[in-house]
Structure 1
Amino acid sequence: MGRDGADRRVAVVGAGLAGCLLAVLLGRRGLEVTVYERRPDPRVAGAEQGRSINLAISARGLAALEQVGLREQALGRALPMHGRMVHPLGADQNFQPYSADGRRAINSISRAGLNASLLDTAEATPGVKLRFSQRVTGVDSQAGALILEDGEGRQSTEPAGVVLAGDGAYSAVRASMGLEGDTDFLEHGYKELTVPARDGEFALDPDALHIWPRGTSMMIALPNLDRSFTCTLFWPKSEFEALDTPERVAAYFAEHYPDVAGLMPDLTADYELNPVGSLVTVRCWPWVKYGDGAIVALLGDAAHAIVPFFGQGANCAFEDCIEIDRCLAETGGHWPRALSLYQERRKANTDVIAEMALDNFIEMRDRVSSPVFRAKRAATHALERRLAGRYVSRYELVSFSTMPYAEIPARIRRQNRVLAASVLGGAALLAVTARALLRRR
């Protein structure tokens, strides 16, 4: 095995969105890559129950997909959402555009469809092998081996010199390597429901991400190509437990979501059938472990799971893949140096987006229905239009740029300082002018 790791066997654990993208990038570098996935091939077996049906792809994710030729295909299978449609209780709904010019949009896309496209691309990439129904339970970094388990609990090992683990927030690889960090669960869980098409058309405006803010909880809805909407409840888990009969479910929705309850003919059945998922933030360090036989690195949710309230989970994981590829290019394919650079560059960014995602939950469930919030948002957009390129909102920097997440808070602070100084300077100039005029009298 070369000291630079050039001849290491590369294993990617997890054939989700990030694992597939990374496999394609590595295969295009001429590397031999094997992708291990515990599920059967989802293109044959269907999507895993309990996984989010759709997600929001924005600038960061699209930039990553462009690297493997999938940007236009993804956009062709996505529905643009140019803003939020807020459904306050007891008041009219209102539309809040995401960008100052009203033209920019985040894109609702099928998770399963995007995963299938990435799987197809990986499968067609020379050097990449996909292996399904292969549960990786750990890594022996000293021996340079993956530990696998079949459906009957029998264990086996396979050699691997570089292991890149994208096996999710509850990563078996992370646990086996002792790379556990902080795992914080919200008291809220989530459950998915459906608003089907109505007479072949969308029952709600498809150009918006719909939000029903209810203080301590909320529901959102994203459009699908079949003209349905995927609705996701984000409730305290105690609320889910309290609705334990179809009658209670129907009555609760009629009271708290009256404008949409009648659009859900299968509400009570879906509510009973669909599971309650957990919302978790994972903060882990380090992400890389060096053994005599293998280097192990974490990516995506395995390293830094975030809650979904900024729509950045997949976008952020895709950026991990691009960074690994970039670091390999910069180090001439030297895996130890490349992965060290990767974790150093990405850690601060993922910590920042984790905090912003938690803050956006409060904004979505509490603030968006407030007239004060709406006035503040309108003022921000007015500043963006007047000071184009010099004043940019946090939302636009996160969703419509590829500025590193870690640089955004400082950018916002600088903007606000300059704006405050301009306002104070203008006020001071006005006062001086007024005094001069008074003296002339």
Structure 2
Amino acid sequence: TTMDYSTNDSKSTSKKKVVAVVGGGLVGNLNACYFAKRGFQVEVFESREDIRQAKIVKGRSINLVLSHRGRQALKHVGMEDTIISKGIPMHSRMIHALNGTQSPIPYGKKGQYILSIDRANLNKELLSAAETYPNINLNFAHKLLNWSTETGAMTFEKTEDIQADLIVGCDGAFSAIRKQFLRQSRFNYSQTYIPHGYLEITMPPINGEFAMKPDYLHIWPRNTFMMIALPNLDKTFNCTLFMPFEEFEKVTTGDKVIEFFQKYFPDAIPLIGAEALKRDFFRLPAQAMVSVKCSSYHFGDKCVLMGDAAHAMVPFYGQGMNAGFEDCLVLNEIMDQLNEDFSAVLPEYTRVRVPDGQAIADLAMYNYVEMREHVNSKWFLFRKYVDNFLHIIMPRTIIPLYTMVTFTRTRYHKVVKHWHWQDKVINQGLLFCAAVSVAGGSYLLVRYPPSMPNIPIEQLWSRLQALKSPF
């Protein structure tokens, strides 16, 4: 039996088409709000139970970072202020050196900041927001088994087949919707696991207050690995250790955990607590991180991929959620332009969004190296100052990479192009200035040689002869 939610246009031209959103996570629920706001009947299908009622919430829990792109997407459905009120502003990175000294690196200009957001709380807020629309139905415990590219019919576990006018795949990096795309010709797909895993550790409050300054993203960069800490509203920090799996495998006992932290993160031990550190380190095994690229993002006028289903990325630029939220905004803008004609909207969405999804996936990989290694470099810090200075005097020409990604909606692939161009220009400018300085100094030495004492050559020779060799 097939439950047909779709519109029979031959019988009714006034009834809106039905959109099936597969995946009731962050991007899925925001997408549902976008479609509902346009008047579509929206059916959201989530494989898990309602997390607002679940005792144990399965899934990743790395803290999220909300920045400009995500805020603009939330603003469109009136949720920006609500979500901001549940986040903690972070104005700078705080770098923890091995000797315990701390030094901040601002993210942007004064007043610019990113927000630390709890993933589970944000998902609950989005679910509750979706529930306020009368034309959205939330269907929990609906695990998708398959769907037909010919008819669009979706087969779920323990329920009848369901059909809709448009399927929106928001079901994550291991998308069940995307499996059918893999069977089509000319569909490109790549999946890359990095050799590093992550493990989460909680830093509790001390005397009811944050153990560290809360308005920073704290980073312990150790070249081949790192630990970060983001603040939570309950005064805890969510610490995440990113490290090669082979290094995790060497730490097998509680004593080795303490030994490892004493060697690389000694200032964190009294803040976390030795016993809590031993407990959290072995609570779960280190988790893997995957990067996914594919194209196209649509199939005919029946289906479109969004969020991690289209472009899963490693978490080091804090753009996974922001890029997924921006997907919703971009699709909505294209629907405005093309009058909700899915046969035109979906190909245009693929054309616009694929290069951006692939560009931010590459940038996320790059930023891991920057966070764990480059921030220790004096050249990196010098270039930060140069870039920020040039940005002040030429704000439209020279824009730091992080600023373009985090505090603007410049398309990701254009960000990469501009970054490469300005990096080349600045490096050539610095090389030119160095060459001019050397040439100028050499000219001055030749033109105005330093005066030498007027000592006869015989006297100089006798003085040299009088010096005893240290050998």
* TM-score clears 0.5: yes
Q: Which runs of 5+ in 2 are unaligned?
A: 1-7, 444-471
Matches within 5 A, 1:310-321: 310-321=317-328
2:16 touches 2:39 (CA, 8 Å); kept in 1? Answer: no
State the Cα deviation string for residues 1-57 of structure 1 (Å, max 9, x = none): 449998543100111111011100100111001000011111111563441242100
Mapped pair 1:176 → 2:180: yes
1:276 offset after TM fit, Å? 2.3
Q: How does 1:302-317 map to 2 (within 5 A)?
A: 302-317=309-324
Q: How many residues align?
A: 428
Residue number among 265, 274, 278 corresponding to 2:288 in the alignment: 278
Match of 1:196 among 189, 204, 211: 204
| Residues 5, 248 of structure 1: alpha-carbon distance in 2 compared, 3 angstrom cutoff | farther
1:212 counterpart residue number: 220
What is the match of residue 453 of structure 2? Answer: none
Alignment equivalent of 2:164, drawn from 160, 163, 169: 160
User: How many angstroms does 1:197 deviate by?
Assistant: 0.7
| Higher alpha-carbon Rg | 2
Residue 269 of structure 1 aligns with which residue?
A: 279
> What letter matches 1:83 in structure 2?
S
Equivalent position amino acid for 2:311 in 1: H
**Letter paired with 1:397:** M
Structure 1 pair 168–180 and aligned structure 2 pair: CA distance change class (3 A) = farther
TM-score by length of 1: 0.90
Offset, 1:321: 0.8
Q: Does 1:16 align with 2:25?
A: yes
Distance 1:46-1:396 versus aligned 2 partners, 3 A rule: farther
Distance 1:204 1:429, change over 3 A: closer
Residues 144-196 of structure 1 deviation map (CA, whole Å, 9 limit, x = unaligned): 2111114xxxx641112311001000111111332671000001111111101
Q: CA deviation at 1:242?
A: 2.1
Residue deviations 1:41-88, cap 9 Å, x none?
111115634412421000000010100111111111111111111112
1:122 is aligned to 2:130: yes
Paired position in structure 1 for 2:120: 112
Which residues of 2 match residues 87-102 of structure 1 at below 5 A? Answer: 87-90=96-99, 92-99=101-108, 101-102=109-110
Greater relative CO (CA pairs within 8 A, separation 6+): 1
Percent sequence identity is 37
**Matching of residue 298 in structure 1 with residue 305 in structure 2:** yes
Report the equivalent of 2:469: none
* Residue 417 of structure 2: aligned partner: 410
Q: Secondary structure at the match of 1:129?
A: strand
C-alpha change, 1:47 and 1:342, in structure 2 (3 Å) is farther
Which residue identity is paired with 1:283?
Answer: K
- Counterparts of 1:427 and 1:112, CA distance in 2: 52
Does residue 58 (structure 1) correspond to residue 62 (structure 2)? The answer is: no
- Secondary structure of the equivalent of 2:20? strand
Post-superposition Cα deviations, 1:278-329, rounded to whole Å, max 9, x if no partner, equal 1111011122113xxx712111100110111110000000111111112222
User: Is the alpha carbon distance of 1:116 and 1:47 closer, same or farther for their aligned partners in structure 2, counting shifts above 3 Å?
Assistant: farther
What do you get for the CA RMSD once the two structures are aligned?
2.7
Shift of 1:258: 0.5
The residue aligned with 1:438 is none
Preserved contact between residue 138 and residue 177 of structure 1 (Cα < 8 Å): no
Cα 1:58–1:123, aligned 2, differ >3 Å: closer, same or farther? same
Q: Which amino acid aligns with 1:56?
A: V
In the alignment, structure 1 segments of 5+ residues that lack a partner are 436-441
Native 8 Å contact 1:83 1:98 kept in 2: yes
Helix, strand or coil for the counterpart of 1:211?
strand
Contact 2:61 / 2:120 at 8 angstroms: preserved in 1? no
Match of 1:439 in 2: none
In the alignment, the residues of structure 1 paired with residue 255 and residue 43 of structure 2 have an alpha-carbon distance, to the nearest angstrom, of 50
Partner residue of 1:257 out of 261, 265, 268: 265
Pick closer, same or farther for the CA change 1:356–1:125 going to 2, 3 Å. same
Q: Are residues 386 and 217 of structure 1, via their aligned partners in 2, closer, same or farther at CA, if it must alter by over 3 Å?
A: same
Taking a change above 3 Å as real, the CA distance of residues 117 and 50 of structure 1, as seen in their structure-2 partners, is: closer
**Contact map agreement 2:152 2:167 (CA 8 A) in 1:** no
Find the counterpart in structure 2 of residue 43 from structure 1: 52
Whole-angstrom distance in 2 between the partners of 1:227 and 1:427: 48
Deviation at residue 216 of structure 1 after TM alignment: 1.2
Scaled by the length of structure 2, the TM-score of the pair is 0.85
Correspondence for 1:228: 236
1:428, 1:221 → 2: CA distance? 42
Instruction: Please tell me whether residue 332 in structure 1 is matched to residue 357 in structure 2.
Output: no
Does 2:30 match 1:30? no
